[in-house]
């Protein structure tokens, strides 16, 4: 077994088991060290730094938006382990299909922070990812990326490649038809895909309890005939381990897996949202004690691998770096309307080209 010879995740933590897979508790203590994936201390430290970078870049984006320098932004605070853990478990040839709240995964998989900031700045070039980086563009329409993920996975299977696709969706997205259709299709055709639901407890202002009567979101895998797991989404160890095993199952031809990352959105849904109108501050405070950075830092401190001083300095360094990156974005000027036409299709279709030419004529004063 990838986790431990005495532990079978599907058997012991399956969707109907009523159990949540966890390795590290809220205080950073590991009670079953044999379940910790076989990474070195240095590798775990690097993953923690990736989470700190995500937090610093996220905080800076929120500040910039509040200053009127960035458009609407979707914060990630509190969900870093659910993003960095799975991204680290992937191989370089695997595909990532995100929704719109996967900052840690984007950064870890090689999307430059400048590109991400360009996107939230309203610049179409923010969807132009580097060559060779197997990450699909940000998808704001809820659930539509799930079909794309299954299509990419099936293409890999048909071509005889060993690629696995990892797809993200939020808890609210599990109420869409696209979600159920994608799971069903993936199950029928045994697509090499891993679905990760970031259950942050709220679909904008709608709490998880009003989304479904199912006890867990992982149970939605049962109808599709695929394995489902509930994993502590704030536990970096557990998220890495569960995703790694699901990916290897898919790579060996065992088909898809659904992972419910049980986490919490500490901030607003987006900067256009006011969460104080639909949830209590006491609830937020309770979840702050489960913060994925807090518990991973506690683990590293106990092992003598880190210090509070180095932690504060690193956060400040990353914040400064993020601000410098955004200044580069601002230096490029306001987004250009014509870019809306240029970066949607590989070759501009006739109807869109006609509209583009009319726009050019308008700029030249040839039409009103």
To the query of whether residue 4 is one of the catalytic residues in this protein, the response is: no
Within 10 angstroms of residue 104's Cβ, the number of other Cβ atoms is 28
Cβ–Cβ < 8 Å for 311, 297: yes
Could you tell me how far CA 166 lies from the centroid of its own chain? Answer: 10
Reduced to 3 states (helix: H, G, I; strand: E, B; else coil), residue 58 is helix
Identify the active-site residue in 6, 19, 66, 278: 278
To the query of whether residue 265 is one of the catalytic residues in this protein, the response is: yes
CA 320/CA 196 separation, integer angstroms: 31
Identify the active-site residue in 55, 269, 295, 318: 269
**Contacts (Cβ under 8 Å, ≥6 apart) of 288:** 266, 294
Task: List Cα–Cα distances, 262 to 14, 18, 62, 200, 231, in angstroms.
Answer: 14, 13, 24, 7, 6
To the query of whether residue 117 is one of the catalytic residues in this protein, the response is: no
Which single residue is written with the structure tokens 């199950």? 187
Provide the token pair at 236: 């970096």
Nearest to 232 by CA among 189, 263, 255, 194: 263
Identify the active-site residue in 55, 148, 265, 295: 265
Q: Which residues are catalytic?
A: 265, 269, 278
């Amino acid at each position: 077994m990838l986790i431990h010879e005495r532990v079978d995740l599907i058997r012991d933590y399956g969707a109907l088991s009523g159990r949540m897979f966890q390795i590290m508790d809220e205080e950073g203590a590991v009670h079953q060290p044999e379940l910790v994936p076989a990474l070195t201390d240095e590798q775990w430290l690097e993953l923690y730094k990736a989470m700190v970078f995500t937090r610093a870049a996220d905080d800076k984006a929120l500040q910039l938006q509040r200053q009127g320098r960035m458009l609407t932004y979707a914060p990630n605070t509190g969900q870093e382990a659910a993003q960095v853990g799975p991204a680290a478990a992937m191989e370089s040839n695997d595909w990532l299909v995100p929704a719109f709240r996967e900052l840690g995964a984007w950064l870890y998989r090689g999307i430059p922070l400048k590109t991400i900031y360009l996107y939230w700045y309203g610049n179409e070039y923010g969807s132009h990812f580097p060559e060779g980086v197997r990450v699909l563009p940000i998808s704001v329409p809820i659930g539509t990326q799930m079909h794309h993920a299954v299509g990419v996975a099936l293409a890999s299977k048909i071509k005889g490649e060993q690629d696995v696709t990892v797809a993200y969706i939020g808890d609210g997205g599990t109420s869409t038809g696209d979600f159920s259709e994608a799971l069903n299709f993936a199950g029928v055709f045994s697509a090499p895909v891993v679905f990760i639901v970031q259950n942050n407890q709220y679909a904008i202002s709608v709490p998880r309890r009003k989304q479904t009567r199912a006890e867990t979101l992982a149970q939605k895998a049962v109808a599709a005939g695929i394995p489902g797991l509930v994993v502590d989404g704030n536990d970096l160890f557990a998220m890495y381990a569960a995703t790694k095993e699901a990916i290897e199952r898919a790579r060996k031809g065992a088909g898809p897996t659904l992972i419910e990352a049980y986490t919490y959105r500490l901030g607003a849904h987006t900067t256009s949202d006011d969460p104080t109108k639909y949830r209590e501050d006491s609830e937020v405070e309770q979840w702050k004690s489960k913060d994925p950075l807090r518990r991973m830092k506690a683990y590293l401190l106990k092992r003598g691998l880190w210090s509070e001083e180095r932690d504060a300095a690193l956060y400040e360094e990353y914040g400064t770096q993020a601000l410098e990156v955004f200044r580069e974005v601002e230096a490029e000027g306001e987004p250009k309307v014509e870019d809306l036409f240029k970066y949607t299709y590989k070759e501009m279709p006739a109807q869109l080209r006609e509209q583009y030419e009319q726009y050019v004529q308008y700029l030249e004063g040839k039409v009103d």
